[in-house]
Structure 1
Amino acid sequence: MDSARHTCLKLQITQNPEPIFIKGTWFSSHFNLSITDGLNAWTCNASEEEVNERASNWDQPISEYIDMSERYLGFQQPRSVYGFTDAGGGYKRLSWTFEKEGTKLEWRWKFKPAENSKKITAGILDFLMDANIRLSEEVVMKTRSNEKLKAEAEKCLAQNEKFQNEKAEFETAIYTKFVGVLNSKKSKLRELRDRLSNQESTANLQEDEEASTDKTETFDGDSEDEDSNMDVTSTSKDIAGNKPRGRKRK
């Protein structure tokens, strides 16, 4: 089933003192338009045959032709020049311009007087009221949603600030403990270094004492040997001096 789309445009035309309201009902292959100025109303039912003929004249697919018409009659385009003029016999002609490949073009559709202007006008007003109610409800829902999001954002900011404070406190505590442990390690290292230094000093002192003792013993040994040598030498001299002399020959 071909679903319909609805639009309603409040169109302000330069040559008309009062705005007109254009209600469109759009289908895939045709569309219906109704216009009111608040007092009188006009209608235009573009059949599939008419839309197909117009699209062929402009070398456009039907879907593209309808989409473009909906865009210009659903929202007033700033660069487009709109017109709503008499076409004789109570008929009206709605026109609008657009540019294509640097060329300004114009589309026109002819509207006939509505059989029941009050009904058309009331229908357009009802549509506008319903659209306004829907928009108001949507605004209220979005406002509530924004307020809820704002409250959640403030809550998240508060939690984030709390987490940052806790993180800072945790880092401070960890840093304090780390500094304490580091200072303790440094103190122990200094203590061990002092012990090692004392041990090395004691070891060096002992080595010096042992070396001094060895030198003293060596000196004493050498003196005894010299005394012994001296005794042997003296004895030899004595023996040599006391050697008996032989008789002289006559």
Structure 2
Amino acid sequence: MKHLSAILLFSIIAILNCAGPKQDDLSGLLLLLAGGPGNSSHCGQTVANPVDAGFTLTTNTYISNANNSAFVTAMGGNNCESAALVDNDNGTVTDTANHFLWTLCTSYNSSGTISKYNYATGDCAANDPPTTDDINITLAQAEAFCNSLTFAGHSDWVLPDAIQLFSLYSPTTPFALGSFGSKKSVTKVGAWSTTQTTSSHTIVHSYGNSTQRFFTTTASTAPIASFICVAKI
């Protein structure tokens, strides 16, 4: 029956296309109903904010290693493929498996102005070790920066959710995949996410070690992290 339905839909599309360009919108709709190109999606958090973790969360602490998997499940589960990262050598990294483009370099706060570190001579020009300015960024500042960013031919950058950031995590040193682990990026500063919980916590994803992945804080807390942005490709 599914095959007959698909044949019927595409037969209608063929007839409509013969009728002329005025039928383009309807043809596109039928393609969508048939599961065509317009039906693609990207991985990430599927449970709407605020997420019910199912266990007690404490402000400004890491979720215990024993609860990390449960928290991923609470966000809807890890629906991302294993990341296949390509360093574009321009301050961006492409994930060909999940169809994301990431900013590689983190940002810093200079007297209230948020700026992204430049990429030069094969690495981000970030401080190593990081300074106070490198983590002096609030959630609101991180979201506003990504939403207004025009970079590498994209103006559709957003702040990622915790599942998307989790796709860059590695359980072994340096605890972040590819260039995110080998260059001056998120491994030493942590990254704000858009994920929020029913206990009014916002999640910062950490790449510092093999157990402390999700840090719980409040959106109104003192600035404590940096961030990277993501665009869909």
Q: What TM-score results when the alignment is normalised by the length of structure 2? A: 0.22
Larger relative CO (CA 8 A, sep 6+): 1 or 2? 2
Q: What TM-score results when the alignment is normalised by the length of structure 1? A: 0.21
Looking at CA atoms only, which structure, 1 or 2, has the larger radius of gyration? 1
Q: Which has the higher helix share?
A: 1
